[in-house]
Chains A and B, each alone.
Chain A
Amino acid sequence: MTLGLEASGLTMQIDGTTLLDSVALAVPSGSVTALIGPNGAGKSTLIRVLAGVTRPTAGTVAWNGVDLAAVPRRDRARTAALVEQDARAELPMTVESVVGLGRVPYRAMFAAESADELSVVRAALAEVGITSFARRQFDSLSGGERQRVHLARALAQQPKLLLLDEPTNHLDVHAQLDTLELVRRLATRDGVTVLAALHDLNLAAAYADDIVVLAAGCVVASGTPDQVLTPELLREVYRVEATVLEHPVTGRPLIAYSPAAGGAARDDGR
């Protein structure tokens, strides 16, 4: 069964501005899809719509063939977990209690704390490799550490679908690779379906099974990294000149950007 996530005709308009325009995409079950596109393309909006947090003006999101809008909120939160960009708390919280939030969809409103809650939280902390700072204050962590805490929180939701908005933002190279290795592992080992908005095209090329390119609210290309990451597409969507090489180790596409010396890209930017 490879249905996974399927969206069609997703349109989002706010105050007359079209943020998403008939977006259709499919993420097969157990695969990793990277969502790429320039700033303001609508990646975050699309991810929020897919997570069921924002209602689209039109269109449907289906998980394994079931319309997600028809699924009760709590059930949806047990299916899909969302990691936002740089989410901060205003009140002091420990890492452990942030990760514990992942169990909110599993709690009855007035029920007492269940025993397995702690074990799920511990497992999530261990999976992400942050067991050692379980009792630290969330606010005292670096950006990369906070991102991992959020990832652990998402894992505590035991999701089948993981939606990540720029999970590698603000991370150093090691932490970026680490995060995406983990995501890859979740997909391959546990069959979690992943859609991640990424800025770094080389990371997308290295870790994603498929890439969806969003520009001005429209899907302009989708397919495997080999199919999608072409010099023509990069020129058209990002206004950059680039050569697409082959990664010497992985054999995947590797993008080398050309300096825009007197080129069209720079003039266009003005």
Chain B
Amino acid sequence: MRRSGLRLVPPAVWATLLCVLLLLTVTVAITIGPADITAGDVWASVLHHLGVGESPLTPLRDGIVWELRMPRVLTAGAVGAGLAIAGAVMQALTRNALADPYLLGLSSGASLGAVAVLLLGVSVLLPVAAFAGALLALMLTLIIARASGIGLAPSRTVLAGVAVSALGSALTSFVVFWTATGDSYREILSWLLGSLAGADWPAVAISVGALAVVGGPLVLAGRSLDGFAFGDTAAAALGIHVDRTRWILLVATALLTGAMVSVSGSIGFVGLVLPHAVRLVVGSRHRVLLPLSALVGAIFLIWCDTLARTLFDPRELPVGIITAVVGAPLFVLLLVRKPLS
């Protein structure tokens, strides 16, 4: 069988392959677009800005590489990686194959937090507010899911998430509609369906920073995530402090989601589908699953965003449309292949 063949490839080989692929993706994605830029130009510009050598590009073209496309591609990569990690962690902690920041309402909560702060005009607090929104939405989802029964039944958790998500989206839309002057619909869409059109270097700092500060430790904590596979009792019997670990990791997930949503809006399917796909190939040991999911997430979202900005050039699609068009069929495939509950 092909699948078992893939499984024999050691994780280190996958990691190396994906790192190379990510580097290629970043380089190639930057060359794609209206201005004629080669891979060589990209690297020359990067080296120039790192203080090595002169840029061969005109200031205008150098600006396209360094001020527009580079931050956008890096942000897309960091957001993709962060969402994939968040999804994988949530799936393990809630023992729910359908858990992900988008489906459980975190993303729409984060969007609401973000637009609320924009309304107040304190954009410095954007990531903080998005984090608060994500955390609030997560709490609400878990409280509703727990309210009518014992534990977290997967189906009830998802339904609670759908309710919270719908509410968050509606409120986000309302806030934008109420406050935006002129093109409010475009802005509503970019929060609800995600967009990386505004990605600049501060966005890179927020998303890459969150990935390093929150995503890094989450990846390293993968070993305790393994212990949750057979439920809370089994985890406790393996010496895991169940409640403390779960809350720390869920709050970290909300933090990661909040940071990502504050720069990209809520993008679906990245956190849901990619960890499942990676799990099929490398198994469910989180020390392997999380970093590989992050790499796949980064590559996936960079390409989705590249499509989003070039497909109907000069008009841009919200990137969430692309991730849904690619992700939904993949998700159906996973559902059909293996019953998830």
Looking across the interface, which residue of chain A has its beta carbon closest to that of B289? A91
Bound form: Cα–Cα A89–B221 in Å: 20
Known A104-B226, A110-B220; contact A81-B279, beta-carbon cutoff 8 A: no
> Contact: A90 with B283, CB < 8 Å?
no
A51 surroundings in chain B (CB, below 8 A)? 237
A93: nearest residue on chain B (CB-CB)? B284
Query: Which residues on the A side are within 8 Å of B338 (C-beta)?
Result: 92
Q: Does B227 contact A (CB under 8 A)?
A: yes
Residues of B within 8 A of A87 (CB): 230-231, 234
Among B238, B240, B279, contact of A91 (Cβ-Cβ < 8 Å): B279
* B91 lies within 8 A of chain A by Cβ: yes
Q: Does A101 contact B (CB under 8 A)?
A: yes
Known: A90-B154, A90-B341, A92-B279. A98 touches B238 (CB 8 A): no
Cα separation A94 to B338 with both chains bound (whole Å): 15
Cβ of A101: which chain B residues have Cβ within 8 Å of it? 226-227, 229-230, 234, 238
Question: With an 8 A cutoff between CB atoms, is B89 at the interface?
Answer: no
Q: How far is the CA of A74 from the CA of B236 in the complex (A)?
A: 9
Are A93 and B237 touching (Cβ within 8 A)? no
Check if B224 sits within 8 Å of A78, measured CB to CB.
no
Given contacts A77-B239, A92-B284, A93-B283, contact A84 B223 (CB under 8 A): no
Does A122 belong to the interface (CB within 8 Å)?
Answer: no
State whether B227 touches A91 (Cβ < 8 A). no
A73 touches B234 (CB 8 A): no
Q: Say whether A105 contacts B238, CB under 8 Å.
A: yes
Residues of chain A contacted by B95 (CB below 8 angstroms)? 89-91
**A77, B240: Cα distance in complex, Å:** 9
Could you tell me if A109 and B280 are in contact, using CB atoms closer than 8 angstroms?
no
A107-B231 in contact (CB<8A): no
Given known contacts A84-B230, A84-B234, A98-B229, is B280 in contact with A92 (CB within 8 Å)?
yes
Beta-carbon nearest neighbor of B221 in chain A: A109
How many whole Å from A130's CB to the nearest CB in chain B?
A: 17
Q: Does A228 contact B (CB under 8 A)?
A: no
CB-based contact B284/A77 at 8 Å: no
Contacts of B239 in A (CB 8 A): 73-78, 104-105
CB of A48 within 8 Å of the partner chain: yes
Chain B residues in 8 Å Cβ range of A88: 230
Interface residues of A in 99-130 (CB under 8 A from B): 100-102, 104-105, 107, 109-111, 113
B224 near A109 with CB under 8 A, answer yes
B229, A91: Cβ atoms closer than 8 Å: yes
A110 to B286, CA, bound (A): 12
Mask of A54-98 contacts with B, CB within 8 angstroms, 1/0: 000000000000000000011111101110100111111110011
Q: Which residues of A contact B97 (CB under 8 A)?
A: 90-91
B interface secondary structure, majority = helix
B233 within 8 Å of A by Cβ? yes
The answer on a CB contact under 8 Å between A110 and B221 is yes
- Interface residue B186 (Cβ < 8 Å from any Cβ of A): no
Q: Is the CB of B285 within 8 A of A53?
A: no
B92 on the interface (CB 8 Å rule)?
Answer: yes
**B96 close to A (CB within 8 Å):** yes
How far is B91's CA from A92's CA once the two chains are assembled, in angstroms? Answer: 12
Q: Which of chain B's residues 60-100 have a Cβ closer than 8 Å to chain A?
A: 91-92, 95-97
CA of A77 to CA of B224 in the docked complex: distance in angstroms? 13
CB pair B230–A81 under 8 Å, yes or no, is: no
Q: Mark B234-253, 1 if CB is under 8 A from A, else 0.
A: 10111111000000000000
* Interface 1/0 per residue, B1-33 and A, CB below 8 Å: 000100100000000000000000000000000
Nearest chain A residue, comparing its CB with the CB of B241 = A73
Proximity bits, B210-230, A CB within 8 Å = 1, else 0: 000000000011011011011
Determine the chain A residues whose CB is within 8 A of the CB of B238 once the complex forms.
77, 101-102, 104-105, 157
Q: Which of A78, A82, A94 contacts B283 (CB 8 A)?
A: A94
Q: How far, in whole Å, are A105 and B241 apart by their CA atoms in the complex? A: 11
- A91 with B283: CB separation less than 8 A: no
B220 touches A104 (CB 8 A): no
A105 to B235, CA, bound (A): 10
* B223 lies within 8 A of A53 (CB): no
Is B287 an interface residue, CB under 8 A from the partner?
yes
Mask, B264-276, CB within 8 Å of A = 1, is: 0000000000000
Contact of B237 among A81, A100, A113, A135 (CB under 8 A): A81
Residue in B154, B230, B341 whose Cβ sees the most chain A Cβ within 10 Å: B230
Extra 4 A-B pairs, beta carbons < 8 Å, given A78-B239, A87-B231, A92-B338 = A73-B241, A93-B284, A104-B239, A109-B224
8 shortest interchain CB distances as A-B pairs:
A77-B239, A74-B239, A82-B237, A105-B239, A90-B95, A53-B236, A73-B239, A87-B230
30 intermolecular pairs with C-beta atoms under 8 Å apart: A48-B233, A51-B237, A53-B236, A53-B237, A73-B236, A73-B239, A76-B239, A77-B238, A80-B237, A88-B230, A89-B229, A90-B97, A90-B229, A90-B340, A92-B279, A93-B284, A94-B283, A97-B285, A98-B229, A100-B226, A101-B227, A101-B230, A101-B234, A101-B238, A104-B226, A104-B227, A104-B240, A107-B223, A109-B221, A109-B223
